[in-house]
Structure 1
Amino acid sequence: MRVAFVLGTTSGGTGRHVLMLVDGLVRRGHQVAVIGPRSVEESFSFTRAGARFAEVTVSDRPHPANDLRAVLAIRRLTRDADVVHAHGLRAGALAALAGQGRSRASRTARRRDGGRLVVTLHNALTTGGLIGVVHGVLERIVARRADHVLAVSPDLGADMIRLGARDVRAAVVPAPRPGPARRTPQEVRRELGAGERPILLTVARLAQQKGLETLLDVAAGPWASAEPLFVVAGEGPLREELRARIEREHLPVLLLGHREDVPDLLGAAVALLMPSRWEGQPLTLREALMSGKPAIASKVGGIPEILGDAGILVPYGDVEGLRAAVRELVAAPGPAERLAAAAERRGREMPGADDAVESVLAVYGSGKPEDD
């Protein structure tokens, strides 16, 4: 089978997911091409995994001239593909406009099991305005032209069904099993200057979607007993804004920047804290569960399905609810120990790379919905 992946600019989970699929498909004898910006090849080395790479600019914001060039390039590069699998809403819409999917099948004499368009939706929009209007247009293009839509959370899938998508399924997005911690929790605590304070760990890009302003509100207290230490691993555009507030209000929050030792940090933490506005299938949450760590998280997107009974869910933006959940875990060892045992069970249930590859092959080989 000839599979062409189309993706836009990414430095995180989407790129790692595509690389995992590329590796699994190549090992199974399929011919794979990846189409996207040069930066994604530099970050993920798809060619090293056995794929052909073609550079096409798929920007994260509308740009009429660039988008037209991208559509024409995608049309040319995917002409002989059996399946075009786009990742992300913009990549999916550009692939659809390039003639892939249901509209292409109805206009050409290609065999019915070829040339289908699969779109995996990895993210939801958390802002409005003009960006929201453009987002809505792209959603309709994908819903009406894609043969199959894979959604990383139930709300994304429901939106696609509402907009007319014919075949919507849950995406399988596994996380690689975390490596072992290299340092003891005591060594990590000394590095962080935690003393006897319990540690709550957040691993996130410092961006609007992650709800980090809520984390700072939670950290501000008040705390009746020992004040927790909130540790944030990650970089992003909000770093200076967050740093300024932490210093101004003397908040018990450490911004560590990008870290390669997340297993060490998880080992020293009581729980993972995710105050996000929205998440699909966050790899960090899967990694925490596979490490036996519970989570306190916003009840949004795909988080509830992943977390199950291995943590505490709180409505997004509920500062008092999040603070009460933190107090529950740090006040006495019992609740944290019970949730840690549940996290270990959930961690053993997490899907692996082979599960993800087999799931997309099932989609690629399934019957195409009837054309209009």
Structure 2
Amino acid sequence: MKRILFLVPRMNIGGAETYVYTAAKELRARGYEVFLASGGGRLADKLKAAGIRTFFVPVRQSKFLSVWRVSSIVKKYHIDVIHANSGAAGIIAARVKRNTSVPVVYTAHGILGNMEKEYVIDQLDQIICVSEYVRQDSIARGFHEDHLLVRYSGIDTERFTANEEERIRLRKEFGFDKDTLVLAMVSRIKNLEHKGHGHLLSMLDKYGRKENWKLLVIGKGNGLPLLKAKIRVMHLSDKVLCLGHRTDVEHLLNAADLTVLPSHFETFGLVLAEGMAMGKPAIAFSVGGTPEIVKDGETGFLVEKDNEKELYERIKQLDSDRSLLKQFSENGIRWIRSQFTNRRMVDELEVIYHKLSP
């Protein structure tokens, strides 16, 4: 069976990290020899505990050392395909390819913005775009169209499955009553603008003070101290709970009714798909790849970017019409399980791997 080496800068919370974690576990279950080279993190530790060989590679700290280290791994373990994730990993993989001739798959989780550094990625064997939006943007930036494939990220639907007993227990633990509408936002907190944390606070301040709503904020980052300070200053501590970095997101989502993501930019919106897999309708700004994952008016709502009033109105609509919320919930589960499963994603990866390394 083929030997696949995943290369990624870090393995904590995030779309690329979750993608690698999900794909690596599923490939190993199918009999592949899977290896991971990364800067470490909680998900790397979990893969190691699952029997996957992991290596520390300082992807963001030293290109020279990373190229040497990955080249050594490729030669020692007779790697058949490198699967790189993130611009920094792609640049390193391109140099390793020159040293070893091993084929390289690159998944573009974000926009390729620094062409001076990232142009070498276009020389790789296959570029997977996580949305049609990413593919079109890459073509516009000069990437060769025949290198680009759209393959959506997959959700571990066994992991992201609703549990009613957990829902009851968690809501009791958090002090939510049965009528409380609970919103969940899962993301890194780089600042208050990037993923829209500031928009949610502003929306709650302007329109939501009288509503029986609670917001669960899951994630950490440099913007977390400012977020907590703003919550205190705006007197929203009774409405917003910051839970920090968690690796049991699927556990916490049981407490929620909706997932919200008023980002300024998204290439896909993995957390929205994870929420929908658990029956949590998604409400997001219509930006980037979110229209490809959220079926507006069927599995959730797409809102005009920066429109806090419309954001409030769409949340209020589902709060006021719980039968519609239930219908969206059921639609979302069917939609994700038909189009965005981890098994389907890995089926598609297998085709690519075997094409590059027969």
For the superposition of Structure 1 and Structure 2, which TM-score range results when normalised by the shorter chain?
0.7 to 0.9
Q: Deviations over 1:210-250 (max 9, x none)?
A: 22111111111224963522222223221211111111111
Gaps in structure 2 of 5+ consecutive residues? none
SS at match of 1:210: coil
Q: Counterpart in 2 of 1:137?
A: 116
Q: Which amino acid aligns with 2:91?
A: A
Q: Counterpart in 1 of 2:156?
A: 176
Distance 1:184 1:57, change over 3 A: closer
Distance 1:336 1:360, change over 3 A: same
Q: Which amino acid aligns with 2:301?
A: I
TM-score, normalised to structure 2, is 0.83
SS at match of 2:226: helix
Distance 1:43 1:276, change over 3 A: farther
Cα distance in 2, alignment partners of residues 57 and 353 from structure 1? 28
Distance 1:359 1:247, change over 3 A: same
TM-score, normalised to structure 1, is 0.80
Distance 1:57 1:224, change over 3 A: closer
Cα distance in 2, alignment partners of residues 188 and 269 from structure 1? 9
8 Å contact 2:162–2:279 — kept in the other structure? Answer: no
Cα distance in 2, alignment partners of residues 262 and 335 from structure 1? 25
Q: Counterpart in 2 of 1:129?
A: none
**Aligned runs of 1:243-322 on 2, under 5 Å?**
243-251=228-236, 252-259=239-246, 262-263=249-250, 265-308=252-295, 309-322=298-311
Gaps in structure 1 of 5+ consecutive residues? 126-131
Q: Counterpart in 1 of 2:85?
A: 87
Distance 1:191 1:54, change over 3 A: closer
Cα distance in 1, alignment partners of residues 330 and 29 from structure 2? 36
Q: Deviations over 1:276-329 (max 9, x none)?
A: 233344443222212222111122233222222300001332222212211222
Q: Counterpart in 2 of 1:128?
A: none
Distance 1:31 1:322, change over 3 A: same
8 Å contact 2:28–2:34 — kept in the other structure? Answer: yes
Once the two structures are TM-superposed, the CA of residue 91 in structure 1 deviates from its matched residue by 0.1
Once the two structures are TM-superposed, the CA of residue 5 in structure 1 deviates from its matched residue by 2.1
Cα distance in 1, alignment partners of residues 154 and 86 from structure 2? 17
Q: Which amino acid aligns with 1:169?
A: L
8 Å contact 2:154–2:343 — kept in the other structure? Answer: no
Cα distance in 1, alignment partners of residues 80 and 134 from structure 2? 26
- Structure 1 stretches of at least 4 aligned residues deviating more than 6 Å after TM superposition: none
Q: Counterpart in 1 of 2:190?
A: 207
Once the two structures are TM-superposed, the CA of residue 39 in structure 1 deviates from its matched residue by 4.0
Q: Counterpart in 1 of 2:16?
A: 14
Q: Deviations over 1:19-58 (max 9, x none)?
A: 3333443444444332222447753334x54544333211
Cα distance in 1, alignment partners of residues 254 and 43 from structure 2? 33
How many residues are matched?
342
Once the two structures are TM-superposed, the CA of residue 90 in structure 1 deviates from its matched residue by 0.8
Q: Deviations over 1:57-88 (max 9, x none)?
A: 111xxx5xx21222233333334533221111
Are residues 1:2 and 2:11 paired? no
Residue of structure 1 aligned with 2:128, choices 128, 150, 159 = 150
Cα distance in 2, alignment partners of residues 315 and 40 from structure 1? 35
Q: Deviations over 1:337-356 (max 9, x none)?
A: 33223223224324333322
Once the two structures are TM-superposed, the CA of residue 272 in structure 1 deviates from its matched residue by 1.2
Q: Counterpart in 2 of 1:230?
A: 215
Larger of the two Rg values belongs to structure:
1
Cα distance in 2, alignment partners of residues 277 and 351 from structure 1? 23
Q: Counterpart in 1 of 2:316?
A: 327
Residue of structure 1 aligned with 2:139, choices 134, 147, 161 = 161
8 Å contact 2:207–2:312 — kept in the other structure? Answer: no
SS at match of 1:118: strand
Q: Which amino acid aligns with 2:80?
A: D
Q: Counterpart in 1 of 2:347?
A: 358
8 Å contact 1:23–1:50 — kept in the other structure? Answer: no
Q: Counterpart in 2 of 1:345?
A: 334
Distance 1:367 1:279, change over 3 A: same
Q: Deviations over 1:93-113 (max 9, x none)?
A: 11112334xxx7xxx9x7xxx
Q: Which amino acid aligns with 1:21?
A: A
8 Å contact 2:105–2:126 — kept in the other structure? Answer: yes
Q: Which amino acid aligns with 2:320?
A: A
Q: Which amino acid aligns with 2:97?
A: G
Distance 1:181 1:29, change over 3 A: closer
Cα distance in 1, alignment partners of residues 249 and 154 from structure 2? 17
- Percentage of pairs with the same residue: 27
Once the two structures are TM-superposed, the CA of residue 336 in structure 1 deviates from its matched residue by 2.0
SS at match of 1:45: helix
8 Å contact 2:161–2:277 — kept in the other structure? Answer: no
Cα distance in 2, alignment partners of residues 193 and 27 from structure 1? 40
Are residues 1:216 and 2:216 paired? no
Q: Which amino acid aligns with 2:163?
A: A
Say what the alpha-carbon RMSD is for the aligned residues. Answer: 3.0
